[in-house]
Amino acid sequence: MFAPVYGLANARSGECGDLANLRALFRAVERRGGRYVATLPLLAAFLDEPCAFSPYSPASRMYWNELYLDLETLGAEVGIVPPAAPPITAGALIDYAAQYRWRRHALDPIALRMLATHGPEIDAWARSTGAYDYAVFRAIGEATRTGWRDWPAMWRDDVPFAEQRSDAIAIGADTARVDTHVIGQWAMQRQLEALAGSPVSLYLDLPVGVSCDAYEVWRYRHLFLTSLATGAPPDPLFLGGQNWRLPPLSPIAVRRDHYRYVIRCIRHHMKVAGMLRIDHVMGLFRLYCVPEDHPATDGVYIRYNADELLAILTLESSRAKCALVGEDLGTVPQQVRPAMARHGMFRLHVGQWFLPSKLGERPAVSPAESIAALNTHDTATFAGWWRGGDIDDRRDLGLITEAQDARERVERADSRTAVLAFVKAHVSGDHLTEVERAMVGATGDLAIGPAEVVLVTLDDLTLQPVPHNVPGTTVERPNWQRRVDAWADSLEPDRASPAAAAALIAVTTARR
């Protein structure tokens, strides 16, 4: 089952979901015979000022996002009841800054009490993980309300590493802020490790990089090429290329450093995940990089030591007993997939791209060595695809001409007719609408295939038409701000809609 944690909201958690709701999803998936819950990156983000909440531009790949803490459970340990969450406005987008304010207001007193009751344990953990240094970085950022590149020189450059709390005080960071960030990381780690003890495994996503304002770029600047930004070359969809504004790692510097930073990022995730998706797996081989102040069409490829990176991933995967998945979508060099297969790394199969386009066809069968799903967080949901929402987006963003728009709509109509004809034989029930029948049939057919794991998206069960992200957009679309409607009901047989219930029955029957 796939769902972003931020989307798993309810009255208790407020506008944004948390680990308590993720735990509830785990239990529901286990009851239905599921094995994995997949979600977007849970990594640290800047949620005050400046506010940057994209899960793929994190503030660190070595620390978690305390926004997702189960504050109720944490507070109960020290006898503190967190304040009630602000009410959810139906249809409103997630206001991350407002959510962080009230959760931080709740976390500060819990952290103070937790430090008094668990001080030695927290201190030992923070020393072993470098959490004091990370907390110094966050505390200074909160005090200055700017990214590290605009800090005074005494905090921006050559700052001594804070191995312990006294070092943080000596640097001049606010101790209350340091304590809250340390305890937030400690508590997130504990809660995620508790989830890892469930019969259902967490399927996490490791982003290709970090924000240019991230902790690692500040602390380990020598490892990054800060005058470049990773992205994607021009293609038929994005003629101007893409600039993701993520500074790439220097292949020479990380190798000289014996890949310590890379290994730490991987281990951080594998401590709590049973499966790890490597975002943009082609980045193990090469990254398209754009020079500062240049358009995305002016990029060049930087090549990495793929054999060494794959060896590290394979070794850490074996040690942690964590399966590996490579996101092999987009421009894929020919050597990538054979190398993935040699190292036992699963690939992705996006079922929506292989639906029949004319009468008499059937969906393409997924490869055995794949993780199959109808869509991804970067594509249209099934209901969005059915209605042509992705075509609307490309037209509105100026990515296709009027002639292309008209042609794609005719092709989509033909595909809808072909899908309905295909599913008619094995999806019955006049109580289902056309899009519901198509979703149930396509989901069930995907599950029949030989893919190692089949992911069902909660948004598809609820026929949500709006995607979580439209690639190539930032403020143009409300990316990463939409909740998952009726998520708690979708997996419960007595409360699920007829379409959701039928889809899950089809999947569990096929997988058995």
User: Residue 176 domain-assigned?
Assistant: no
In this prediction, residue 347 carries a pLDDT of 97
What's the CA gap between 98 and 456, in Å, rounded?
31
User: Residue 343 domain-assigned?
Assistant: yes
What's the CA gap between 257 and 246, in Å, rounded?
20
Question: What's the pTM value of the predicted model, to 2 decimals?
Answer: 0.95
**Which domain does 268 fall in, by range?**
5-56+195-511
User: Residue 222 domain-assigned?
Assistant: yes
In this prediction, residue 431 carries a pLDDT of 87
Write the secondary structure of 103-165 as one string of H (helix), E (strand) and C (coil). HHHHHHHHHHHHHHHHHHHHHHHHHHHCHHHHHHHHHHHHHHCCCHHHCCHHHHCCCCCCCCH
DSSP letters for 492-507: -TTTS-HHHHHHHHHH
Q: What is the CATH number of the domain that holds 497?
A: 3.20.20.80
Q: How many CA atoms lie within 13 A of 319 on its CB side?
A: 13
Average pLDDT of the chain to the nearest whole number: 95
Sign of CA dihedral 24, 29, 35, 36: negative
In this prediction, residue 239 carries a pLDDT of 75
pLDDT per residue as tens, the chain (512 positions): 999 999 999 999 999 999 999 999 999 999 999 999 999 999 999 999 889 999 999 999 999 999 999 999 999 999 999 999 999 998 899 999 999 999 999 999 999 999 999 999 999 999 999 999 999 999 999 999 999 999 999 999 999 999 999 999 999 999 999 999 999 999 999 999 999 888 999 999 999 999 999 999 999 999 999 999 999 888 776 778 889 999 999 999 999 999 999 999 999 999 999 999 999 999 999 999 999 999 999 999 999 999 999 999 999 999 999 999 999 998 899 999 999 999 999 999 999 999 999 998 999 999 999 999 999 999 999 999 999 999 999 999 988 899 999 999 999 999 999 999 999 888 877 789 999 999 999 999 999 999 999 999 999 999 999 999 998 888 889 999 999 988 999 999 889 999 999 999 999 999 88
Q: How many CA atoms lie within 13 A of 318 on its CB side?
A: 7
User: Residue 267 domain-assigned?
Assistant: yes
User: Residue 270 domain-assigned?
Assistant: yes
What's the CA gap between 427 and 349, in Å, rounded?
23
Please name the residue that has the structure tokens 């040690």: 319
Across 23-71, the runs of DSSP E, i.e. the strands, are 36-38, 46-47, 51-52
User: Residue 437 domain-assigned?
Assistant: yes
User: Residue 172 domain-assigned?
Assistant: no
User: Residue 67 domain-assigned?
Assistant: no
- Tell me how many domains the chain contains: 1
